A and B are shown apart, each in its own frame.
Chain A
Amino acid sequence: MKKIYKTLRWSILSMSMLAVCSCSDSLDETNISSNTLPESKIDVRFVLTDVLTSTAKNEVETNYKAREVSAGSQYLQRDNVDFYSFYFVWDTKNFNSFYPILTNSQYIYDRAETEKEGDEKKYYQAVSLIMKSYTYGFLTSTFGDIPYSEAIKGEERGDAFVPKYDAQEDVFLGILSDLSTANDMLKGVGTIGIASNADVVFQGDGQKWRKFANSLRLRYCMRLSEKTLTGLDPSAEIASIVNNPTENPIMTDISDNAAVKWVGSASDNSFPGGPLSYTFRSEFYRRKPSATIVKDLIELKDPRLTTWIRPVDVQIFPGATDGVELVDGRVRRNTTVDIAARNADSDLTNDVNTSLFVGLGVALSAPNDYNMGNTVTDVRSGITALDPDIYLGDSSNPHISYLTNIYSENANELSAAMFMSSGETQFILAEASERGWIGGNPVDYYLSGIELSFDRWQIADGASSAVYDEGSDSLVAFDKAAYMANAQSIYTNATDKMVPIMHQKWIAGWLTGEAWFDWRRTGLPELEKNVIQGAKGQDIPKRQILSDPFNEANLTLATGRLQPAVNDPWSLMWLLQ
């Protein structure tokens, strides 16, 4: 027993000393995470993929999912519930989904600076500048003044947590300068093979990036074209880009389009309208095409109508009795209401539209009631009995069109997130040419823009049942020559040539944000006339309102520069002042 006791006495003493002495160095290793590699061991090309796919997600968030921009440009309207209902009660937005793109772009740039060399370095740095500029371009266009010169420096802490808001003019100058730098960097850079998988936009093709950079320069110069800037003449800049295609190549073909296609294997790589993302299927049905674009496409006999928009599930017909019936395999609703009288009165919500394609009226305070939506219950069971496949769940209105399968699938080639298209470039050239800044014939650019749009939507001449003929209430084949001739004649007959250019640019810009920005600048197309019951009458908001709760003092300084100086959707930013 004594022996045990002695042994224990010494072993405890010595063990405790040992424990204390051996600690410090092993602690460093303990705190190295085995769950991840050190950042230096991860190639920046993986970060590039994140930048591109995050930008794609933002793109559909803004132009499809959310309520604002696509309502402002009157591509989509939304019903179901709530007060917003696309009638221009806009809630605040923040930078949360945008800053990671900026941070990661800067990260790529900085790592490429030390780790890469030659063309590879130029490629990463140029692409990083382009994507950063693309996001800054959207942010400043939609909000006005934003943090720029002091932004993305959080690592410095202190004041870097509250970056000042730069004047919008300076932000645009910075963006254009970065894009110009990217253009110069990419000169002579071919395809970077190692980045071909990671670059989900251009597969590492440096020259395509270069065209994108220059096309963006055109986009932003055109946006600035009504303003006078210190050190930059936007129209002259456009001319200098267009006039020197060797040094400033731009997008000319649909293969130049900057877009990210959806994978469609999981919710975070799918188009949001698809079942993986909107498992709550009514979300898909809530977003309905607006009456403005549906009416317009019908009038133009435009084949893009049937590409984007479905016929109504149950068409309305005037009849001697009320009820539903099956005619030629389609359910139709007969109604005894006095359609002519309803459509003549001042209440636009109660209008009845008997077309095969019906859009949702713009900015209605009771959109659920539109086109007899308030009486669907009367025929609900009848419809189901005749065609059980017709969707009558939440957010349904069988008398209003929904979007086509392009937008209800997880991944459709055509639902790719479009950063910029060659079509847009042509319309910019049409405008520049029309305003006399560059040479060429504006009508050629205009027609070329339309054709590139048909190509982008894969609409071929002669496509059957592609065009809705309102007169015969039937679908007919697409006669491209006739369409182009009509487009040309509209152009020729227009007193203000800007009207047809901006009109076709608006259609070609379907579900992108450009049309709203163009409308703010030019007032074209005349979207206001379609507003029914907006929160501020027929005024369409001109900016998204910003919330930056952790940088309030600077935000307040910036909103003080708006006209009027209120953080409000109708206040004018410098660009529009």
Chain B
Amino acid sequence: MKNLINVRSRRSCPPKNNLKIKLTILLFYGALLNISAHVYENSESILFGPEIISSELGALEIAAQQIEISGTVKDVDGEVLPGANIVLKGTSKGVVSDFDGNFTIAVPNAQAVLVFSYIGMETKEVAVGNQTSLEVLLDYAAEKMDEVVVTALGMKREKKALGYAVAVVEAETLNQQPNTNVLSGLSGKMSGVQINEMGGDINAKMNVIIRGQTSLTSNNEPLLVIDGSPVGNTDAMADISSLDIASVSVLKGASAAALYGSRAGNGVILITTNSGEGAKKGIGVSFTQSTTLSVPYNYFELQNTFTTGQKGQFNESSWQYWYGARAGVEAVQWNTDGQPQPLVMYDNSLRDFFQTGLSTQTDASISGNYDRGSFNFSINHMKSDGITPGMELKRLGFSLATSYKITDKVKFTTNITISKPTSDNLPLTNNGSDDIYMDIFANAPHVNINDLKDYWEVEGSQQRRAGALPNNPWFSAYERDRTLDQIRGFGNVRLDIDLLPGLTAMGRVSFSANNEKIESIYPWSYDGFGSSAVKPFGAYEQTKLDERETNVDFLFSYDKKVGDFRINPSVGGNYLNSRNTSLYGGGDVLTLPALYTLSNVARPGLGYNSGVFEKEIYSLYGLASLSFKEMVYLDLTARNDWSSTLPKENRSYFYPSASLSMLISEMTQMPSWVSLFKLRTGWAEVGKDTDPYSINPILNQTFWGNDIQYSVPGSLPNTALKPEVATSYEVGADLGFFNNRIVFEGTWYKTQNRNQIIGVTTSPMSGFSSATINAGNVENTGIELALNTVPVRTANLEWNLGVNFTKQESRLVELVEGIDRIGVGNAGSLTQQTFVGGVIGDLYSTSVLRVESGEYEGWPILNNNGGLTFQKDNALKPKVGKSTNDFTMGLNTSVKYKNFTLSANLDWRQGGNFYSETMKRTSRSGWVDKWQGDAGTFSGILGSNSFNGDGTALANEIKSNPTKYQADNVWVGGRDAQTGGFPYNGFDNGSFWPGVVDNGDGTYAENFGGPGTVLFDAYKVVEPGGGLWDVGSSFMYDLSFVKLRNITLTYDLPQKFASKISAQRISFSVFTKNIMIWNAADIGIDPELAYYQNGGSYDIGKEKWNALPWVAPVGFTINLTF
């Protein structure tokens, strides 16, 4: 959907074609300079003024000029329109109105017709006649009636003719603030499109899901198409400059995407980059620089009352702080030279470790447009320093788009984009393995993180640590590196030919390539968390990926008008070849310290492998658009694919689509306040293939010392795979009222994904732990609503308000015989699985065994040692939540009052749950005080101090209030006497679970705090085996949140100031983005980050070590337009 802010507000964003020079100076804290300049030939150019080329081309016409016409362009309300285009019809000659709306143009004779156009206004033609002075009033265009959007195969279509929903975000909306990843500029701006960030620092992986999860086990990534070339998944969007983009179209449903075939099952994101085409004649130059500071403002709350140790004793070799020493205790510490000194607690570890991130982006472009052709060349540079010290990312990119008319009937076009991201140290996108974040959270409270900055004990080989675990965070930040050296390029060469009147042909070859090298560097003395992450002699790994894809396609289109009918059939074909190669080498144990080469990896541990994956698809397709009187539009498409990845007999698959658009408001007489009444519907079927080599059984190779060994893979291949089929229906309406000041769009859709090619988990005793099946049906339904309004519009005040709403659900309707569920992921005590009949995103958890009936009904059954007992029977594990939202809403608004414009974008996601592995782990270690509501690690709900230490009274209280004390997370006791611990094994850390001990003969012994109550060491409250570690529901939180995706305040300087330096416009903007307004969980962890990368797929609804500080990016902009 085109954003109203930019269509309606005539001055907040100056019309693009009118830009002469635009200087953008973005100052932050007075230190930063940004300039953007556009120069066009037809302006009275001040700084650059190159009329050279256009003078040559226009020489003949200039000679023939005879009559001089002058005049003013205004809107129907009488406001002058600066920058309106005035073109002499039938020629390319034109001028632009000046800042007072005045223009002067020479015409050859009185028969000349002038065409007046202005963005958002109806175009008007005026015959010159005898006039030499004109006042032209332009009317507001009926909103979006003639909006042109880019659809499948790059075809530009009028939006009103479409029978399906397409979401469009224009450059102005996308680039309200600078974005290091294009996707972050799209968040919350479209219905039906959910964009999630999966990390808090730079290079955060963004996950895009269009119309919900349809595939069960793959990542549901949409296809990315840039200027007609398929580029693969959305990863590439992090590698292109947002400012190169002219518009983004999202084809949400199968009807829209059917022509892209197999790969479009999860939707398509179509990006159109800037080209010189459509610009005014001549040369244009633009230069933009922006700077954003990322200020951490909200830190995960770590406790600093108790430090490392147990039983009140100080022990630096422990990572447990449950009952470590308090401040003031005398102890020999890592930095006290063997002398005991009182413990001092610090509260600065996160604040002093994380820093303000800084990101600068510079874009420059030059474009030209002539009779014979056009070009746009841009160069961009981005540099980002993360909030984590040492983390950085640089990117240099080039982009060239040219078109040239070889003859009047043959046009040659090419687009080439090259992007080169590099980094000396890039954060891991999957938090939770051996990454730095564990090291930071594990810094003990008695250790001042600043004292660790000098992190080498022996330069290059031994880090300086405080205690046994884990790494010195600064060492981890600066020495344990992950480098990136990547080059991504894509482009195409295209010929358009007018073969016959009405018949055109297009041929295109596109190529995309991505080459990346990633090095993982672990210095000597590296000590990650977990058995395999301890690398006393470091490690070095190098991974190289080379991904290439070639597409060759052609399309013949015919356009014929017969009476009131118009028919527009096309046929085309595509050949796809993708070839990915990978190369890996590396291993633990470096012979010499600080030398990171493969040859320095000690022989026995050196691992290596390589692989090639190739795939081809041939496709033929046809489409026909039929229309009647611009009232009824019918689109029919058909496509057949031949994929190399499927068995010969199932290789060829055909799929059709149909969509219908009816403009009721054109067919019947509607009240005058109804400006648009359109009904649309679409039906489509899309086929989908699979990955290369999935159908042939192979043996896996491994080694036993120097001996090769082979084994049958645990995954059973399917030699008779059929293509997947997604059938979708959608019905929608587009309504416009009061001259389209109120515009409503609504879509209901349903998609049935059949024959899914899924790797399902099977009972291992079948001989395989998983099998590729080719069946099932996931039904995906949803509604998408959007309402855009202009509630107020006066000369001085204009208010735009847009709201979008999405509600969707994916239900597993059927699977194959023998298989009753799909396991999506497993977070220890939490299982992400969907049974037939269930909803994708269902979460199940182990539960505590409780007495089923009788006197002790509902109380946990404890074992002889007072530990909780658990439901081991998988079938009886309860469903505890779902990881998908109930609904999401986006709100876009802008208010313009005189020279001020305030625009904002809110994203509200309601409902659903997530599981926090961070909370579970930090609670287990006693690093946090509270993990949920009243549940905390310092004290149980009651303790030894309750009822003045009267155990019988305590037991009575508990026993007589089952509702309160049977709840999850309830324990009794404390870390020490002060916090309510009971005497236990000579210390005061005894605690217990309220419940009953199973006597083994059907009777139970009370464990409520009276005599005989079985105590345990308090630290075991979250331990596995008898504590809450095994109870997933104890660490489940509400996923709901509201985020302010962006807020920008712009102030336009009054014209009298601007004109003094010959500028058309001078404006100042301040902005910030992604600010959490509200979140239901309230544990300092961003629910949006509850995505966990697990191999190739994402565990949705789980979060692990995504507890980085929340960041407020702030920027300040000055725009100067000449």
- List A residues at the B interface (Cβ < 8 Å): 1-2, 4-5, 8-9, 12-13, 15-16, 19-20, 23-24, 26-28, 30-36, 38-39, 42, 46-47, 49-51, 53-54, 81-85, 87, 89, 91-92, 94-96, 98-100, 102-104, 106-107, 146-147, 151-155, 157-163, 197-198, 200, 263, 265-269, 275-281, 283, 347, 349-350, 365-366, 368-369, 374, 377, 380-381, 385, 392-394, 396, 533-537, 545, 547-552, 556, 567-568
Contacts and interface: CB of A to CB of B under 8 A. Distances in A.
B309 A5 contact: no
Contact of A47 (B499, B699, B823, B866): B699
Contacts of A281: 534
Nearest to B555: A16
A549 B1025 contact: no
A377 B642 CA distance: 71
Smallest CB-CB A-B distances: 3 pairs: A83-B1025, A83-B1026, A551-B763
B771 interface: yes
Contacts of B505: 9, 12-13
19 contacts: A13-B505, A33-B696, A38-B698, A50-B709, A83-B1025, A91-B872, A95-B763, A153-B767, A161-B763, A266-B703, A279-B531, A280-B533, A283-B531, A366-B1017, A377-B314, A385-B338, A548-B763, A548-B765, A549-B823
Contacts of B644: 27-28, 30-31
Interface residues of B, number: 114
A161 B771 contact: yes
Given A83-B1026, A266-B604, A536 B864 contact: yes
B1025 A159 contact: no
Interface in B1020-1049: 1020, 1023-1027, 1029
Interface in B36-63: none
Interface in B687-721: 692-693, 695-699, 701-712, 714, 716
Contact of A24 (B311, B533, B651, B874): B651
Given A151-B765, A279-B531, A280-B534, A200 B704 contact: yes
B711 A159 contact: no
Nearest to A547: B874
Given A50-B711, A269-B704, A280 B766 contact: no
Given A5-B410, A34-B612, A535 B867 contact: yes
B618 A20 contact: yes
A40 to B, nearest CB: 10
B602 to A, nearest CB: 10
B404 to A, nearest CB: 12
A83 B867 contact: yes
B766 A154 contact: yes
Given A154-B716, A551-B765, 12 more contacts: A33-B612, A47-B699, A85-B1025, A98-B764, A99-B769, A152-B767, A266-B705, A269-B703, A280-B533, A350-B985, A396-B317, A550-B763
A159 B865 CA distance: 42
A19 B618 contact: yes
Interface in B594-610: 604-605, 607, 610
A365 B693 contact: no
Contacts of A23: 575, 616, 618, 642
A531 to B, nearest CB: 10
Contacts of B762: 154, 161, 550
A82 B615 CA distance: 49
Contacts of B611: 35
Interface string B856-869: 00000001111100
Nearest to B652: A24
Contacts of B819: 161, 550
A155 B719 CA distance: 10
Nearest to A534: B864
B507 interface: yes
Contacts of A366: 985, 1016-1017
A368 B985 CA distance: 11
Nearest to B716: A154
Given A30-B615, A350-B985, A84 B1025 contact: yes
Contacts of A548: 763-765
A83 B993 CA distance: 13
Contacts of B716: 154-155
Interface in B499-517: 499, 505, 507
Contacts of B507: 12, 15-16
B865 A535 contact: yes
Nearest to B705: A263
Contact of A269 (B613, B705, B823): B705
A278 to B, nearest CB: 6
A385 B339 CA distance: 12
A43 to B, nearest CB: 9
A157 B620 contact: no
B768 interface: yes
Contact of B702 (A30, A50, A350): A50
B605 A276 contact: yes
A365 B1016 contact: yes
Contact of B410 (A8, A46, A106): A8
A283 to B, nearest CB: 6
B1053 interface: no
B573 A20 contact: yes
Which of B406, B615, B712 is the most central at the interface, judged by chain A CB atoms within 10 Å of its CB? B712
Contact of A82 (B319, B612, B1024): B1024
Contact of B1019 (A81, A155, A275): A81
B761 interface: yes
Contacts of B696: 31-33, 38
A104 B318 contact: no
Contacts of B531: 277-280, 283
B236 interface: no
Contact of B873 (A32, A33, A49, A567): A567
B817 interface: yes
B1082 to A, nearest CB: 29
Contact of A12 (B319, B554, B620, B874): B554
B986 interface: yes
Contacts of B612: 33-35
B547 interface: no
Given A95-B764, A96-B764, A47 B701 contact: no
B407 A4 contact: yes
Nearest to A161: B818
Given A377-B315, A552-B874, A12 B495 contact: yes
Given A30-B614, A99-B765, A381-B332, A36 B698 contact: yes
Contacts of B575: 19, 23
Contacts of B110: none
B532 A279 contact: yes
A32 B872 CA distance: 44
B1027 A279 contact: no
A268 B607 CA distance: 12
Residue of A12, A92, A545 with highest tally of chain B CB at under 10 A = A12
A13 B705 CA distance: 58
A509 B692 CA distance: 49
B315 A95 contact: no
A183 B335 CA distance: 67
A321 B551 CA distance: 84
Given A30-B644, A31-B696, A1 B406 contact: yes
B592 interface: no
A82 to B, nearest CB: 5
Contacts of A197: 707
B76 interface: no
Contacts of A269: 703-705
A23 B644 CA distance: 9
A9 B604 contact: no
Contacts of A9: 497, 499, 505
Contacts of A33: 612-613, 692-693, 696, 698
A89 B1026 contact: yes
A154 B712 CA distance: 12
B983 interface: no
